[in-house]
Amino acid sequence: MLERIQKENDIKKLNSEELECLAGEIREFLVEKVSKTGGHLASNLGVVELTMALHLICDLPKDKIIWDVGHQSYTHKLLTGRKEGFEDLRSYGGMSGFPKRKESQCDAFDTGHSSTSISAGLGYVRARDLKHEDYTVISVIGDGSLTGGMAYEALNNASNLKTNFIVVLNDNHMSISENVGGMSRYLTNLRTADIYTGLKKGVTNALQQVPVMGDRMIEHIRKTKSSIKQLVVPGMFFEDMGITYLGPIPGHNLPMLCKALKEAKKVEGPVLLHVMTTKGKGYEPAETAPDKFHGIGPFDIESGKVLAKKDGDTYTDVFGKVLCDEASRNPDIVAITAAMADGTGLARFKKHYPNRFFDVGIAEEHGVTFAAGLAAGGLKPVFAVYSSFLQRGYDQLIHDVALQNLPVVFGVDRAGLVGSDGETHQGIFDLSFLSNIPNMTVMSPKNKWELADMLRFALQMNSPVAIRYPRGKAYDGYEGCRERISYGKSEWIFEGKEIAILSVGHMFEEAVKTRDKLIEQGYEPTLINMRFIKPIDEAMIEKVCQTHKLIAVIEENVQTGACGERVSEYVMRKMLPSHVLTLALPDDYIEHGSVDVLRKMTGIDSESMSEKIIETYKEL
């Protein structure tokens, strides 16, 4: 059946038996392809029938389907003729693992972060109505994304709509409790029946014709109905906001899904369709351990085991272990995650200190201010968060933490290039946005040993601190270079002449390779580990400028506003004699691909950097 899907809307040519076969083929295809490329498997296996139903009742690309987060869009891509793209899924130049407008006109909105789909969908609805156009808008959001406040801001804003807007709640954890009993089932069935939708509209229209009393009668009936249904029917939270609630609907029953979606399209106003799905559906290892198969590398289909063996500690591992060690000695240390306990290395802390561990949900804004409150209350909060997600709490960083100079430690994980997740997840802006905040100290370690030392150092400070470190295996070289950390001071690794390389954080390994290539060419460069991005070591810069013609700053961050610009600004302001060359990422969004390939393409691999340094030095 899958071979018959060559483009959008081809699914409508299949009969009911063929559709059932198609669902099975899609699951087999996804397991086979993701086992080779890696990717988000469990979430995609859970929405096969839901995606098929959406495509059966929608006319793409005219109608708009917006996927919250977007990692569950694989079936959508298959049904819009992108089967061949799975051969190089998430590879450089290949198909993205997330919706991309530039990839297909059937991708209505680019996503990657959580809780954005309802806002985007509402924008589409308002644009549609203002332009007097006619198409359906559907936002698909998971129950996990409903822990993000932005979703509720959008729902609140949508509540006064008078035209159709469908929000599909893909609930795979039953976080909205299932109501029981005959009355609940009866009213839910009534709610999704043709007669109910028509009757509700007819009664409302009739009552509105009654002079003076009509609107009051409508309001009285609404309140009476609400008081009864509040006790027995799920979804009253949404109903009270003015959003029609339909469901819950079995998320793997294609005919019921199609029927419910058709009913949802008839509602004049916002409607939430509650769909119950099973993550990892159809592949036992993923059903048993959906978290493991959320984002997974290549794996063995038979066993479900990841093929690549772990080769040493990751930076995340080191951070989590050291934090636990320090917490055993200091009862004031508490840890915070935004629904990423495993991903940020806090699972160990959660196990050993459950009363001092806080998962705030997918709510980074709240997490930052919550940390500020903990600090104001006399505790030592450590918020471990991905770099790209910390962006969401920027106002809170400034207004709630730094303005009050509160001692919150931010473990900024996945800093720099993260690879296959692409533009929305590359942690390439944090040096820029953090180093511009007053009272904020920003550090970045060269290796695993220095990360441990920096975390211990940060826990002793009485002001906000951010430590940035990358995804993947922690560099364990240069263990002997472990000079005691001194606030705002860099570390001299090799002293040379004429050319100085200033390395920022985990780019140290690449900086060492760059230095080696320069030595092969007859140069004798100095190598300095910056350690602190804010404050920068001004005394070190002045000393370097006395004996070096060229300073090359190496960092994995966009060039604008980062360390290289800070060094360059200081040199110019002090009218120092050296030339500063910043080797950083371009002022652009970096697409998906392996880190090695992306460094090569952006010119921050050792080969490219050594060539650029020599070229610049010869021009001086």
Q: What positions carry a catalytic annotation?
A: 279, 364, 392
Cα distances from 332 to residues 326, 338, 351, 531, in angstroms, run 10, 20, 17, 26
> What angle (nearest 5°) sits at the alpha carbon of residue 236, between those of residues 147 and 151?
25
Residue 331 CA to residue 313 CA, distance in Å, equals 26
The tokens for 199 are 């009757």
Report yes or no: 291 and 225 within 8 Å, Cβ to Cβ. no
The tokens for 38 are 């890696």
Burial class (CB in 10 A: 0-12, 13-18, 19+), 4: exposed
Helix/strand/coil percent split, the chain, to 5: 45, 15, 40
DSSP character at residue 337: E
How crowded is the C-beta side of 11, counted as CA atoms within 13 Å? 28
Cα distances from 360 to residues 89, 131, 363, in angstroms, run 32, 40, 6
State phi, psi for 409 to the nearest 5 degrees: -100, 125
Q: What 3-state DSSP class applies to 73?
A: coil
Report yes or no: 406 and 376 within 8 Å, Cβ to Cβ. yes
Number of neighbours of residue 601 by Cβ within 10 angstroms: 16
Task: State which H helix or E strand residue 557 sits in.
Answer: strand 548-558
Residue 330 CA to residue 258 CA, distance in Å, equals 56
Residue 58 CA to residue 64 CA, distance in Å, equals 8
The tokens for 505 are 């954080």
CA-closest candidate to residue 506, choices 392, 599, 597? 599
Q: What 3-state DSSP class applies to 334?
A: strand
The tokens for 420 are 């296959």
- For tokens 């694989």, the residue is 74
